[in-house]
C-alpha cells in the first residue's frame, strides 16, 4: 500500500510520496513505471508526475521528480513549493527556511505562514546557465540583442544562446537557457494562437537538445507582465512551470523586453519572478495547494 498526497502549484499537479519515516518503501527500479501508472488520468490517480520525499545527507530533505512518462527530472519549480509545504504541514520540520537537495543542486526555500497554513513559498532558484554545453544544446552560433548583456561576478558577459530552428512548417527563433533543466523560450505575438501540441513536442525532441527541452511560448504584455504557455519535457502541456517562468523572465529581461521583476501569467495562475542584479540569482514566489490525500493498494497493474 502506498500513501500519497496530491498537491498542485498553479495547476501543475504531482503526487507526493514520503519515505522519510521509512513508510512507502518503493524499489528503485519500479519508480519510473509507478510514475507512469499513477500519473495516468484515466487508469491511475492523474497528475503531471510523482515526487518522492527522501532523507538527505547534505540538506534538510531530498526531492526526486518523475514525470508522467517515467523520466526523472532535475528540478520542478511548482513541485518544490508544494514539497516545502508538505514537509512543514506534515511536521517533518518546524523550520520555515528549508534546504532541499535536487538533481541540480541544493535549493533554499522560504515559507509564508498564515493561521497555520502555508500560502506562498519563495524559492531561490539559483543563477541561470547560459553555456551551451551545460544547457545542453548542440550548435555553435550565439546571438544577442546588441544593447543587452549581463555581467557575472567576474565581469564576464553572459548572453543567451539563440538559434533559428525549422520545425515542420515554421521557423522559430529560440532562446536557450538552463535553470538546472533545459528551456527553449520563444517570443510570439499571441500565445493562444500557437498549436502547442503540434510544435511543442517536435521542439522538445529535436536532436539539437540531447536531453530534450522544455518549451515556453511567451507573449509580452508590458514591462512587468508576461503571458506564457509551456510544453514540459516528459509531460506535455501543463498548467504552469516554475523553472520555465524563471527562464522566461531571464530571457525577456536580457532581450530588453521586461524589467528584472515581473509577473508571469500562466494558465494555472501567476508567479512572481525576480532576477536580482546584485547576485544574479532568480527568486520565484507562488502558491502551493493540497488537493487530497489517498492510498493505493495495488501498486502496479
Domain ranges of the chain: 2-124+287-296, 150-280
Q: What pLDDT, on the 0 to 100 scale, is given for residue 155?
A: 33
CA dihedral 136, 272, 218, 279 (to 10 degrees): -40
Cβ(164)–Cβ(173) below 8 Å: yes
Report the CATH fold assignment for 2-124+287-296.
Diaminopimelate Epimerase; Chain A, domain 1 (3.10.310)
Q: Which three cell numbers stand for residue 255?
A: 532581450
Distance of CA 46 to the CA centre of its chain: 19
| Helix/strand number for the chain, H first, E second | 4, 20
Establish whether domains 2-124+287-296 and 150-280 are of one fold: yes
Q: What pLDDT, on the 0 to 100 scale, is given for residue 116?
A: 79
Phi, psi of 203 (to 5 degrees): -70, -45
Q: What is the pTM of this model?
A: 0.89
Residues 6 or more apart whose Cβ sits within 8 Å of residue 75 = 65, 102, 103, 104, 107, 179, 180, 181, 243
Sort 202 into a burial class: Cβ within 10 Å, 0-12 / 13-18 / 19+. middle
Catalytically annotated residue among 176, 241, 246, 252: 241
List, for the chain, all residue ranges whose pLDDT scores fall below the cut of 50: 141-157
Q: What does the alpha-carbon distance between residue 223 and residue 183 come to, in Å, rounded to a whole number?
A: 21
82 part of the active site: no
Catalytically annotated residue among 76, 176, 246, 252: 76
76 part of the active site: yes
Report the CATH fold assignment for 150-280.
Diaminopimelate Epimerase; Chain A, domain 1 (3.10.310)
Query: Which pLDDT tens digit goes with each residue over 130-178?
Result: 999 999 999 754 444 433 333 333 333 467 789 999 999 999 999 999 9
Amino acid at each position: 500500500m502506498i500513501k500519497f498526497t496530491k498537491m498542485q502549484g498553479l495547476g501543475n499537479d504531482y503526487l507526493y510520496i514520503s519515505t522519510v519515516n521509512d513508510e512507502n518503501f518503493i524499489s528503485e527500479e519500479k519508480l519510473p513505471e509507478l510514475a507512469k501508472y499513477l500519473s495516468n488520468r484515466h487508469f491511475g490517480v492523474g497528475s503531471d508526475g510523482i515526487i518522492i520525499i527522501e532523507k538527505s545527507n547534505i540538506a534538510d530533505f531530498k526531492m526526486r521528480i518523475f514525470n508522467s512518462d517515467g523520466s526523472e527530472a532535475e528540478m520542478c519549480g511548482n513541485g518544490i513549493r508544494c514539497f516545502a509545504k508538505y514537509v512543514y504541514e506534515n511536521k517533518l520540520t518546524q523550520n520555515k527556511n528549508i534546504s532541499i537537495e535536487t538533481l541540480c543542486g541544493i535549493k533554499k526555500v522560504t515559507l509564508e505562514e498564515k493561521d497555520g497554513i502555508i500560502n506562498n513559498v519563495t524559492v531561490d532558484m539559483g543563477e541561470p546557465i547560459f553555456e551551451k554545453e551545460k544547457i545542453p544544446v548542440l550548435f555553435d552560433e550565439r546571438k544577442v540583442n546588441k544593447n543587452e548583456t549581463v555581467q557575472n561576478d567576474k565581469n564576464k558577459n553572459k548572453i543567451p544562446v539563440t538559434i533559428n530552428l525549422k520545425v515542420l512548417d515554421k521557423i522559430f527563433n529560440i532562446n536557450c537557457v538552463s535553470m538546472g533543466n533545459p528551456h527553449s523560450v520563444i517570443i510570439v505575438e499571441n500565445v493562444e494562437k500557437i498549436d502547442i501540441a503540434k510544435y511543442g513536442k517536435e521542439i522538445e525532441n529535436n536532436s539539437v537538445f540531447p536531453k530534450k527541452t522544455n518549451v515556453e511560448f511567451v507573449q509580452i504584455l508590458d514591462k512587468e507582465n508576461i503571458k506564457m504557455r509551456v510544453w514540459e519535457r516528459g509531460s506535455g502541456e501543463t498548467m504552469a512551470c516554475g523553472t520555465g517562468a524563471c527562464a522566461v523572465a531571464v530571457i525577456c529581461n536580457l532581450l530588453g523586453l521586461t524589467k528584472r521583476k515581473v509577473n508571469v501569467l500562466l494558465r494555472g495562475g501567476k508567479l512572481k519572478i525576480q532576477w536580482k542584479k546584485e547576485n544574479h540569482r532568480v527568486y520565484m514566489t507562488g502558491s502551493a495547494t493540497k488537493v487530497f490525500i489517498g492510498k493505493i493498494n495495488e501498486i502496479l497493474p
